[in-house]
């Protein structure tokens, strides 16, 4: 794979505890049609970024490393403490290859995401010369998800989590999928400015959106066409649902 301008590196967040799975197994190792869910995400990522993939691991790190390494060549970064998504990405910064200009951030629990969607997302981000683009999707029942706030010109101004949303904001049906494409320089700068002053005491990656807006960076979004692609797996019910969709594909 040649190093084209704007060639991305991809960070996959796979360190989560997955407490709602009610299982001793690390969440991303739960299988769908006989394959650990994280390997679907890695395969999709490799079609976009080749081997420039950094998998952030934490829960059962060695087990995840061993299983993924059997079939894929990626870099691993260990997040020793679970201090939030912003912290997880910070752990991976030093492993980003020098030539990578854009960084795509994915979650290890969205196995239905397609290569086409990521490529369209990357193209849109590069062509619009944005500092940060987030991938959003519209759903009829957005309860529980972070809502994307936009101004009258269609520019993204922030993301508000359900717990912090006003009644008016809760009516917004455009939600954040947790997938981002960010210029490497802006990512490194903005991560330094995240503070853990929230209920969870964690470093939220979503804060880089607000930081970008406040600093007058070009922040936008792409709305995915198929909400099913962004189905995250948090419970055994989710796992069964995704397995059924995967089967029907």
Reported for 194-203, long-range contacts at CB under 8 A and 24+ positions apart, including other chains, are: 194/86, 196/83, 196/84, 199/163, 200/84, 202/83, 202/84, 202/85, 202/86, 202/87, 203/83, 203/84, 203/85, 203/86, 203/87, 203/90
Q: Which helix (H) or strand (E) holds 137?
A: strand 132-138
Return d(Cα 27, Cα 64) in angstroms, integer.
10
Sign of the alpha-carbon torsion through 88, 159, 154, 139: positive
Q: What values do phi and psi take at 10, rounded to 5?
A: -120, 130
Question: Given 20, 59, 65, 241, which residue is catalytic?
Answer: 20
Q: Both tokens of residue 232?
A: 């995250």
- Whether 20 is catalytic: yes
Q: Where are the alpha helices (DSSP H) in the chain?
A: 37-49, 61-71, 85-92, 115-127, 167-170, 184-191, 207-214, 236-248
How many angstroms separate the Cα of 248 from the Cα of each of 46, 60, 229, 242?
23, 31, 13, 10
Q: Are 234 and 21 in contact (CB under 8 A)?
A: yes
Active site residues: 20
């Amino acid at each position: 794979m040649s190093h084209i301008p704007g060639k991305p590196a991809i960070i996959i967040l796979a360190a989560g505890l997955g407490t709602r799975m009610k299982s001793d197994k690390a969440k991303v190792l739960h299988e769908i049609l006989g394959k650990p869910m994280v390997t679907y995400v890695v395969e999709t990522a490799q079609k976009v970024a080749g081997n420039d993939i950094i998998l952030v691991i934490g829960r059962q790190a060695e087990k995840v490393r061993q299983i993924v390494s059997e079939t894929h060549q990626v870099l691993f970064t260990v997040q020793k403490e679970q201090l939030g998504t912003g912290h997880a990405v910070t752990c991976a910064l030093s492993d980003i290859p020098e030539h990578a200009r854009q960084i795509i951030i994915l979650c290890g629990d969205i196995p239905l995401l397609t290569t086409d969607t990521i490529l369209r997302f990357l193209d849109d981000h590069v062509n619009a010369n944005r500092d940060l683009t987030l991938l959003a999707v519209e759903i009829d029942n957005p309860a529980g998800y972070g809502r994307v706030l936009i101004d009258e010109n269609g520019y993204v101004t922030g993301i508000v989590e359900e717990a912090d949303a006003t009644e008016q904001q809760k009516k917004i049906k455009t939600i954040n999928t947790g997938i981002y494409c960010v210029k490497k320089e802006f990512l490194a700068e903005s991560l330094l400015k995240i503070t853990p002053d929230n209920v969870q005491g964690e470093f939220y990656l979503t804060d880089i959106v607000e930081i970008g807006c406040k600093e007058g960076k070009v922040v936008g979004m792409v709305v995915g066409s198929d909400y099913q692609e962004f189905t995250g797996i948090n419970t055994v019910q989710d796992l069964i649902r995704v397995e059924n969709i995967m089967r029907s594909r």
